[in-house]
Amino acid sequence: MAKGLFPRAWVKKSFYFQARISFVRVKYLFLTWLTVLVGSWVLYVQYSAYTELCRGHECKNAICDKYRRGIIDGSACSSLCEKETLYMGRCLSTLPNNQVYTGGWGDHSGIIRCKLGEVVPYELGEEPEPRRETPVFDKPNRGTSVQKFKEMLFNHLKSKLGEHANLPSLVGQILSVADGNRDGRVSLQEARSTWALLQMDEVLLGLLLQDRGHTPRLLGYCGDLYMTEWIPNSPLYGFSLPWPLVSWVPGGLQRTMDQWFTPSWPRKAKISMGLLELVEDIFHGTYGSFLICDLAAVHFSYTDRHELRLTNTQVVVPEEEFRRTMRVLKCETDADCVYGVDCRTSCDLSEKRCREEPVQPNLAKACSVLKDYILRGVPSEMREELERQLYACMALRGNAGQMNMEHSLILNNLKALLWKRISHTKDS
């Protein structure tokens, strides 16, 4: 009897085991299919986003077409369109109309930027309309004299920066840049390229700040396509998480992780001094005051010698333009009076309009950024004094009495404290 039961039990176990194996196979087959499906969808989304964001070939074709037709010219046109020694590399674009690529030009590595026309939306099944080109390269008109072009430049700079005694010298500097082939004169085609470039505030501000070493140098241009030098260490600190992980990693943990990827403290001190010098140079500088309206680390970088560079001048705005904008801005609360990311004024509730005076100066925002950056790893003997000065700096307000004097005093004290510590090291 026992012998008869054994085969039956064995058959039951064998059947159960085979059924379990079949279930596991189906389960893994389903998971594999699901993984392939999700992976394909992600690849499709990424490819679609890439093809829409990265349109460097369109940019080059549009620029070179105008160059060959004799509409524009510039220092980079021949290399881009004829010799092809200026080339685009990896796509860094985040907006379809603002193309950004790494690039090479002979021995130089750099960043290439180019504007494209508006992308016209369309429904699925319809034929997409041609892209609407921005109407540029129509000024100055044929027959415009050099003197008239100088007047155009002067009036444009005055509208952007306000009235300043040094504007004529800035006009001369821009004319020197405009002479792309260095033949001692500015052709109509070069003038059109230069005028188109100056309509982009980031180019104008880059030219203003590059003499002081705060921004990457302009290497060349063709129309409104231009190339600036490559700054190797970006962002200022930390690293960029892949987009699927950004929403899953808490902000506090990400800030802690960012601190793992920073240079040694003396080098951080030198980089920090570069930021303080930038703030100093744009506070009542040669061409007026400027505001930095987004002091995120991603907009800054540093060279191999640990010299700070502002790599995104779009976050800088002339104070004259800021005040003009805020003057006409209607508001209900202070939260309505924001320019960019963090340039704020207060709301005049009786007038329902924003006040012109910025609430917080650049220096206070810079110190807020530097606090976590420079206090981590600071030598113990100077930590208390550095912390005290940073908090005094962060307390600065734009409308406080004697703000100019306070600003200069705090700025000089911070620079002196950092310089005293690193002046005898090889990092200085």
In this structure, what token pair is assigned to residue 390? 């940073």
How large a percentage of the chain has pLDDT more than 70?
76
Helix (H, G, I), strand (E, B) or coil at 202: helix
pLDDT digits (tens, 9 = 90+) for 246-300: 556 666 666 666 666 788 899 999 999 999 999 998 887 788 889 999 988 888 9
Indicate whether 3 pLDDT > 90: no
pLDDT at 50 over 50: no
- Per-residue pLDDT of 10-43, as tens digits, reads 445 555 555 555 655 666 666 676 676 665 555 5
Domains of the chain, each with CATH number or no CATH = 56-116+137-229 (no CATH), 245-423 (1.10.510)
Q: What is the DSSP string of 31-66?
A: HHHHHHHHHHHHHHHHHHHHHHH--HHHHHHHHHHH
Q: Is the pLDDT of residue 202 over 80?
A: yes
What are the C-alpha distances in Å from 57 to residues 61, 87, 325?
6, 10, 36
In whole angstroms, give the CA distance from residue 388 to residue 371: 11
pLDDT at position 257 = 64
CA distances from 49 to 93, 103, 124 (A): 10, 21, 16
318, 160 Cβ separation under 8 angstroms: yes
The model's pLDDT over 378-389, given as tens digits with 9 standing for 90+, comes to: 999 999 999 999
In the predicted model, what is the mean pLDDT of the chain? 82
Both tokens assigned to 146 = 């050099």
Report the distance separating Cα 410 and Cα 428, nearest Å.
Answer: 21
pLDDT of residue 131: 43
Contact call for residues 311 and 234 (beta carbons, < 8 A): yes
